[in-house]
């Protein structure tokens, strides 16, 4: 019998405790797995895994910020730590503490979401200090969830991430409809939209290469 003595402490990124077999890289079948990958592989998802282990990631890069919005427990580790984990290992991942372990019997109890959260109101710390939660979203479902979890407002919608499902170039009608859907999902919260902002790590697929180089360097 093989004993899995894996015990790694990485950087916590998104909270939650999950158990699953490790799969290296993003594949079509990720349901039920904990996926280990680089941030460059975090572009699009046909399905979501139980948890993410991201190797040598830049926590505040646009792709990693997008990962936060998926709500999947995530831990960041180094390339050296990644070498200690093998395909198919049964692991427990704790996105709150940053722990990755082969000891599956130490899972923390899952606590439910507080039912007294009210959208548009500040959350109070133990000492009474208010915490204002503004949220960045990319789709109506995320705006709806943010409202349900007590967000004060939708602080930013990055329009460069709003893309037609069929891959066509977005036009006025697309943006009008999408903006309306997000505003309706977030109502009565205030929504702030940012117009197209192109950078090296967030170039829309519909933008010609020559134009994207000019805009991302300007």
Shared-domain flag, residues 62 and 140: no
Residue 93, judged by CB atoms within 10 A of its CB (0-12, 13-18, 19+), counts as buried
Whether residues 86 and 129 share a domain: the answer is no
Say if residue 52 is in the same domain as residue 84.
yes
Q: Is residue 154 part of a domain?
A: yes
**CATH classification at residue 23:** 3.50.30.10
- 101 lies in the same domain as 130: no
Q: Can you tell me whether residue 100 is helix, strand or coil?
A: strand
Q: Note the pLDDT of residue 99.
A: 95
pLDDT of residue 114: 52
Contact 102, 86 (CB under 8 A): no
Identify whether 46 is part of a domain. yes
Asked whether residue 129 is domain-assigned, the answer is: yes
Residue 110 falls within a domain, yes or no? no
Residue 60 C-alpha from the chain's centroid: 11
The answer to whether residue 118 sits within a structural domain is no
Q: Which residue range is the domain that position 54 belongs to? A: 7-105
- 116: in domain: no
DSSP string, 162-212: ---TT-PPP-HHHHHHHHHHHHHHHTTS-EEEE-----TT---TTS-HHHH
150 and 72 fall within a common domain: no
Overall domain count for the chain: 2
8 A C-beta contact, residue 92 and residue 101: yes
Same domain membership, residue 92 and residue 127: no
E runs forming strands in the chain: 7-9, 11-14, 17-24, 33-38, 51-55, 74-77, 90-94, 99-101, 123-124, 130-131, 134-137, 153-158, 191-194
Question: For residue 51, what are the β-bridge partners?
Answer: 34
Q: How big is the CA angle at 76 (ends 73 and 77), to the nearest 5 degrees?
A: 135
Pair (87, 128) in one structural domain: no
- 129 and 75, same structural domain? no
> Do both 97 and 23 map to the same domain?
yes
Q: Report which secondary-structure segment, H or E, holds 68.
A: helix 62-68
C-alpha dist (Å) from residue 27 to 7, 79, 82, 119, 190: 25, 20, 18, 37, 38
Q: What's the pTM value of the predicted model, to 2 decimals?
A: 0.64
**Cα 18–Cα 21–Cα 23 angle in degrees, nearest 5:** 110
Residue 165 shares a structural domain with residue 93: no
User: SS3 for 11?
Assistant: strand
96 and 140 belong to one structural domain: no
Cα dihedral 78, 80, 83, 89 sign: negative
Q: Number of C-alpha atoms within 13 angstroms, CB side, residue 44?
A: 7
Determine the Cα–Cα distance for residues 22 and 32; give it in Å rounded to an integer: 9
Residue 112 forms part of a structural domain: no
Q: Are residues 31 and 100 in the same domain?
A: yes
Q: Is residue 13 in some structural domain?
A: yes
Query: Per-residue pLDDT for the chain (218 aa), expressed as one digit of tens each?
Result: 345 678 999 999 999 999 999 999 887 688 889 999 999 888 767 778 999 999 999 998 888 888 887 889 999 999 999 999 999 999 999 999 999 999 887 655 454 445 555 656 666 777 888 878 888 888 898 899 888 888 889 999 988 888 888 888 999 999 999 999 999 999 999 999 998 887 776 777 777 765 555 554 44
């Amino acid at each position: 019998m093989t004993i899995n003595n894996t015990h790694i402490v990485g950087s916590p990124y998104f909270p939650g405790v999950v158990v699953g077999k490790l799969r290296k890289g993003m594949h079509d079948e990720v349901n039920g797995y904990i996926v280990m990958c680089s941030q460059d592989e975090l572009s699009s998802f046909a399905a979501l895994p139980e948890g993410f282990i991201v190797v040598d990631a830049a926590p505040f890069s646009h792709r990693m910020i997008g990962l936060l919005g998926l709500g999947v427990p995530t831990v960041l580790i180094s390339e050296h730590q990644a070498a200690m984990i093998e395909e198919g290992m049964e692991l427990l991942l704790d996105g709150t503490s940053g722990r990755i372990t082969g000891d599956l019997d130490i899972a923390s109890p899952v606590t439910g979401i507080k039912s007294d959260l009210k959208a548009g109101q500040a959350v109070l710390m133990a000492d009474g200090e208010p915490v204002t939660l503004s949220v960045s979203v990319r789709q109506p479902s995320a705006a709806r969830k943010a409202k349900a979890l007590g967000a004060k407002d939708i602080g930013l919608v990055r329009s460069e991430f709003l893309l037609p499902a069929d891959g066509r170039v977005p036009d006025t009608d697309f943006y009008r409809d999408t903006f309306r859907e997000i505003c309706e999902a977030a109502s009565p919260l205030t929504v702030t939209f940012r117009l197209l902002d192109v950078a090296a790590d967030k170039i829309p697929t519909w933008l010609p290469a020559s134009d994207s180089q000019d805009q991302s360097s300007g």
